[in-house]
Structure formats: structure tokens, C-alpha cells
Amino acid sequence: MPSFLSLLLLSIILATVSAGSDYTERLLLRPLPQSALLASFNFRSNDSQLSFEEQNFRYFPRSLGQILQHAHTKELHLRFSLGRWDAESWGQRPWNGAREGGTGVELWAWVEADDEDEAFSRWLTLTNALSGLFCASLNFIDATKTIRPVMSFQPEGDHSNAPNLHLLHGTLPHEVVCTENLTPFLKLLPCKGKAGISSLLDGHKLFDASWQTMSIDVRPTCGIDGHCTLEMEQSVDMVLDIDRSKRPRDNPIPRPLPIEEIKCDTSKGYNAGDTCYPLDKSSEPSWNLTEVFGRSLKGACPLTDQEGENAETVCINTPPERTVDVNTTGSYIESRAVGDTLRCYKLPTGHDFDLNLPSQQMTTGLVLPSPPLSAARSINGHGQERGSIQTVITNPSPTSAVEFVYLESLPWFMKPYLHTLRARISASPENPVLETYYRPAVDRLRGTHLELRMRIPAASTLTLSYDFEKAILRYTEYPPDANRGFDVAPAVISLIDPAASDGRGQYVRTTSLLLPLPTPDFSMPYNVIILTSTVMALGFGNIFNLLVRRFVGAEEVVAGGGGLGALVRGKIDRLKGLLGK
């Protein structure tokens, strides 16, 4: 019977770390089942509000700071995400889902402005500037993709001295996050990927991960003494497949293993030299940082604290029995916490640091906290005209009901029928919808914005469904890959949990959807163009000929053969004729 150790303490420790100091960074490694590895990078820079306003940047990046000042943005949340979090195997999301976004790019910000129009124009300034900074198509977040959430998002920062704040939210579900977004992300860090834990971030491995999210959060925090600081938090969370990441970059092909390396079930009656029933791997795989991240960790970033808790920048969360060997030439300090399930290391400066975990047969495991909700959304029905969306939200907790806000931001060409909205709870007739906020779409101007506050009783399933109609777009409104379908942004579920203390909230996002729209045959216009061109050419040619050419009888043609001489003679004769008259 493996003993299970709680992780609840851990999240509290991670949340409280680093208040006060100017720059901290931390990497948390947590092996997950099925040879997956969660790596959570967190970087936090603080600058005082006063020096920020005086454009005196120290840890806060100037490029981003000036954009925020120019766009009058007081709080900013930017997410780049790829892949899916497998809650069934991996448990609760890192940071309770507060530091992740839907597939693609998600951005929301509190902008200071006198009225909505001004707020929107500042929002456009912000998205355009960020688009340039992060090499992402954020400038495509226009009015049709922008909503103003009412219940889903709460500011994390302290905004007591900024009364006219407007929350705007936009998503780009089709945006493919890649290395060009990582490079500017790393440049915002004080150590810029040269030292510290950020030296492990390599585009090849990051974007080969099973799930990854990059986030930037800027918020003002004020102490009791009225001294305010502007805090920027950057984090990268990813789940790596250890087997896949360990493959060398020059030979990444998962060829079938030689049969000698596969463990066969010899108890099977048919087991023979050419027949092998593969056995599951029961031991934890061996790995080290250099292998898994494709780079070595180049010591500590010198800007982090040298003393105290914040100096321990690499933490690994494993059962105490797991062997973890440290491989470095410098001096390091190891400390253990939370019943030895958390080992943290203070890195040497200027020396490479590596953690080496050999293959090991484990008797204990960590109990992964289960997520408070799980949600799956899909498009049902088929055909070119209508469809329906179904969202299944499950509350696994046997005891406590969960209250949450469900936010849906739909493109304008997907027109929901609100009267078909049904929310049913398994084995209960009560209506789970407590409050509805709905802002219908306007064609080509804005999308649908739907927020539902709902309550789901313990151990039950909520099925939310509504029908929608597909609009027919204009010919030029289709993207080049029109037959792929159109991406629909993920729904955001934010939990209303009075017990949450870190002020960030808890979020669950569904996957994005692909909406097939009626698509014209794009080769048809070309056929029409070709046909009309032919008709035009024929008609034009004939009329042109009739107008310009002179038709003469064969016998009228001057004899004497062709050639230049005849031509010139003909011209002269004609000229003579004209002059003669």
C-alpha cells in the first residue's frame, strides 16, 4: 500500500514565496503519472509605483512598462497556451488554473479611461503594441473579439486610487504559439535566459510539450503603509513527456525498440521468440535536467536573493524515497519541506547545476489534488445551417457544491438561440442557473458575450446546451483555409470560492472548438473569371477588328508580293491618293 502525501501545503508555500524582494524566480518540478513531468517556471519582478511613473525601470522591463503607461493599463494578463491539461491523470492545474489561458492567445486588462470609447481606443493601442512586442497577432483582437466580462474576472491588484477602470478581454483561439513568442518573453527577464532557471527554457522542448502555457501578469500591490509597487509575474508551465524529451535532437524518431529492450510477459502461453506481449513499465523513468530540457542549468541568476527562502530557486516535488542526485561543480544548499516531499536547492552562481533522477521502483506515490470541476465542450449536430453546443461540467466532490461563472465569447457568425439554452443537472430538477448576463452579437461589429452564474451540487453533472445558427459570410471574409472551419474560443469557468485566499481565483477552461461554416466553392469564381475573360476576348476581338481593320477584296490588293517594299509602296500609294484628293 503506497503511502500518499498531501500537496495542499505546497501550493500555499509557493503562493506566499517572494513577497517583498525585488526579483525572484522559482522552478518547481513535479513528476506526474505516465512518465510526464510538470515544470513550473515562475519569475517575479517588482518596481515601486513611484519609480515606474518616473520611467525609472530596474527589474520591470522598459519595453512593456512604456506600453502600459501609454495605453493607461493598470493591470494586464496575457496568456499564450498550447495543448490540453489532462486533469484525469495530472490532477489539479498549476496555480489553480489562474495562470493559464485558453488555446492560443488570451489577453485581458484593466484600462483607465473616462468612457467606454476611450477605453476601447486605449485597448486597441495596447493590443497593437503588444502584438509588436510579442510577435503575436494580438492586433487581430478587434471589436468582434473583444468582450467586457462582468462576473468572470476580478482584479488581482490594488486599484483603490484608480476609479475609472474598464475591463476588456480578447482571445485568439487560432493563434499558434511558437518560439517567436518565447524569445521576446525571455527578453523581458532580467537574466534573459542566460543564467538562472530561465537558461533551461528552450523552444524545441517547450513547444514539444504535451501542454504548455506562458503568462504575463502585471498588477499594482499596495502595502498597509500606502507604499505601492508594480509587480510583474511571468510564468511558464509545461508538462513534458519524459520519454519524448529524452530523445536526442538529431534523432527524434521513436523507432521501435530492439526486442531485447522490451519486457515481455512470459506468463502468456503464446510467448515465443517472435511473439511478445509488452508489460507496462512499473518503475519511474530516469531523467536529468539537461536531457529533459535540452540545455544545462547555468547556475543561479545573480539578481536573486542570496539568502533565505527566495534563494532556493529549484524545487522538486517527489516522494521522499525518490533518489535525487545533484550534479554540480559549485556549492549548493539543499533544504527539505512539507514532510520531505519538497526538496529545494539554492543554486551555485557561475556553475552548471543538474539534477539526476535514476530509474527507480517506487513504493509510495504523491496524491495529486483533484480538480474542483472538470468541463468538456463539443459541437453537436451536423450540416451547414445549424448546430448545438453542449458543455458537460462535472463536480467530483462528494460533499460540497460549487458555484461558478461560465463565460462564453462567441464569434458573430455563430448565432446562439438563447431560448434553446438548457441547463440540466443529473438527477435533480432544479435550475442551476442563478444569474445570466447576455449581450447579443451584432453582425460584423461584435460577438456574443454570455455569462452564466451557476451552481452545481455535490457529485453531479451539469449539462448545458444551446442551439446556434451559422451565418453565411461574404466572399472576402473567408480566410485562406476556409474549409478548415473557424475556431471558437474556449469557455472560461471561474469558480466563486469564498475560501480562496491568494486573490487570484480558480479557473477551468474548456478546449477550443472548430466550427465548420458553409463554404463556397472558391474555384468557381476563377471559372467564371476565365469564362468571362474568354467571352470578353472574343467579343472585344471581333468588334475591335470590325472597327479598326479595313476589309478589301482579294483583287484589290496590290500585286507584287509582300515584303517590306510592297508595304511601303502601298503606304505611299495611299498617301498619294489622300493628297490627290
Partner 1 sequence: MALIATLLALRKDARILKLPPYLSAICIIVGVAWLLVLPLDEYSRNTYVSENALLPGQVHTYFTGSEHNIFRAYRHEVAGLADRSVEERTQRLSDIFRSSNLKVATQRYSYQAAGRNISNQNVYAVLQGPRADATEAIVLIGAWTNMDGQINHSGVALVLTLARYFKRWSLWSKDVIFLVSGDSTSGPQAWVDAYHDSHNPDTIESLSIKSGALQGAVAVDYPAGPWGHRYDKLHIVYDGVNGQLPNLDLFNTAVNIANGQMGISCTLQRMWKHGDSYQERLQTMLRGMISQGLGHASGPHSSFMPYHVDAITLQTVGDGWHDEMGLGRTVESLFRSLNNLLEHLHQSFFFYLLLHSKRFVSIGTYLPSAMLIAANFSITAIALWVQSGRSTSPIPNPASTSPPSTKANEKPETTMTAVKTPDGSTTLIPTPLLSITERALFLPLSFILFTHFLGLLPLYIFNNTPEPYLRLSFETTLALTTALPLLIARALSLFHRPTHQETTLIQCFSLLLLGMFLAALATLNFSLSFLIGILTTPLSFVRASRNRLVALPALGVLLALNPVVVIRAATVYWGKDVVEILVQAAEGWHVWGLWTQVVVWLVWWPSWFAGAVVVGSGLFA
- Looking at 278, 330, 339, 350, which residue binds partner 1 (CB under 8 A)? 278
Q: Pick between residue 382 and residue 550 the one whose CB is nearest to partner 1.
A: 382
Residues numbered 14-53 forming contacts with partner 1, rule: CB under 8 A: 34
- Looking at 21, 48, 360, 390, which residue binds partner 1 (CB under 8 A)? 390
Question: How far apart, in Å, are the Cα atoms of 532 and each of 535, 539, 546?
Answer: 5, 10, 21
Which span (77-85, 137-145, 179-187, 439-447) binds partner 1, by CB under 8 A?
77-85
**CA-based diameter of the chain, in Å?**
123
Give min distance, CB of 359 to partner 1, in A. Answer: 18
The x, y and z cell numbers of residue 54, run together, are 518616473
Binding flag, residue 472, partner 1 (CB under 8 A): no
Dihedral sign for Cα atoms in the order 175, 179, 180, 184: positive
Binding flag, residue 244, partner 1 (CB under 8 A): yes
Question: How far apart, in Å, are the Cα atoms of 326 and each of 314, 318, 346, 352?
Answer: 11, 15, 11, 11
- Looking at 248, 254, 429, 561, which residue binds partner 1 (CB under 8 A)? 254
Binding flag, residue 66, partner 1 (CB under 8 A): no
Binding flag, residue 241, partner 1 (CB under 8 A): yes
**Pair 233, 42: CB distance under 8 Å:** yes
Strand partners, 488: 513
Binding flag, residue 82, partner 1 (CB under 8 A): yes
**Pair 216, 308: CB distance under 8 Å:** no
User: Cα separation of 73 and 389, whole Å?
Assistant: 35
Binding flag, residue 270, partner 1 (CB under 8 A): yes
The x, y and z cell numbers of residue 407, run together, are 463565460
- Looking at 160, 378, 420, 545, which residue binds partner 1 (CB under 8 A)? 378
Binding flag, residue 88, partner 1 (CB under 8 A): yes
Give min distance, CB of 131 to partner 1, in A. Answer: 21
Strand partners, 237: 40, 213
Binding flag, residue 57, partner 1 (CB under 8 A): no
Say how many residues touch partner 1, by CB under 8 A: 55
Crossing angle between the packed helical segments 116-134 and 62-70, to the nearest 10 degrees: 160
Which span (42-50, 261-269, 326-334, 347-355) binds partner 1, by CB under 8 A?
261-269
The x, y and z cell numbers of residue 537, run together, are 476576348
- Looking at 259, 535, 558, 568, which residue binds partner 1 (CB under 8 A)? 259
Binding flag, residue 257, partner 1 (CB under 8 A): yes
Q: Pick between residue 129 and residue 488 the one whose CB is nearest to partner 1.
A: 488
The x, y and z cell numbers of residue 86, run together, are 489532462
Give min distance, CB of 97 to partner 1, in A. Answer: 17
Within 13 Å, how many C-alpha atoms sit on residue 73's CB side? 30
- Looking at 374, 388, 397, 436, which residue binds partner 1 (CB under 8 A)? 388
Binding flag, residue 203, partner 1 (CB under 8 A): no
- Looking at 59, 207, 332, 437, which residue binds partner 1 (CB under 8 A)? 207
Residues numbered 288-347 forming contacts with partner 1, rule: CB under 8 A: none
User: Cα separation of 76 and 157, whole Å?
Assistant: 10
* Secondary structure, 3-state, 152-218: CCCCCCCCCCCCCEEEEEEEECCCCCCHHHHHHHHHCCCCCCCCCHHHHCCHHHHCCCCEEEEEEEE
- Looking at 132, 381, 541, 565, which residue binds partner 1 (CB under 8 A)? 381
Cβ neighbours of residue 44 closer than 8 Å, sequence gap 6 or more = 18, 23, 24, 25, 231, 232, 233, 234
Dihedral sign for Cα atoms in the order 310, 316, 320, 325: negative
Q: Pick between residue 514 and residue 536 the one whose CB is nearest to partner 1.
A: 514
- Looking at 6, 179, 271, 431, which residue binds partner 1 (CB under 8 A)? 271
Strand partners, 104: 81
Give min distance, CB of 221 to partner 1, in A. Answer: 34
- Looking at 19, 66, 69, 84, which residue binds partner 1 (CB under 8 A)? 84
What residue ranges in 13-103 does DSSP mark as E strands? Answer: 23-32, 36-48, 73-83
Q: Pick between residue 338 and residue 482 the one whose CB is nearest to partner 1.
A: 482
Which span (259-267, 297-305, 311-319, 339-347) binds partner 1, by CB under 8 A?
259-267
**Pair 517, 486: CB distance under 8 Å:** yes
Residues numbered 491-530 forming contacts with partner 1, rule: CB under 8 A: 511-514, 516, 519
Cβ neighbours of residue 250 closer than 8 Å, sequence gap 6 or more = none
Q: Pick between residue 286 and residue 388 the one whose CB is nearest to partner 1.
A: 388
Q: Which residues bind partner 1 (CB under 8 A)?
A: 34, 82-84, 86, 88, 103-104, 173, 207-210, 241, 243-244, 253-259, 262, 264-265, 268, 270-271, 274-278, 280, 376, 378-382, 388, 390, 481-485, 487, 511-514, 516, 519
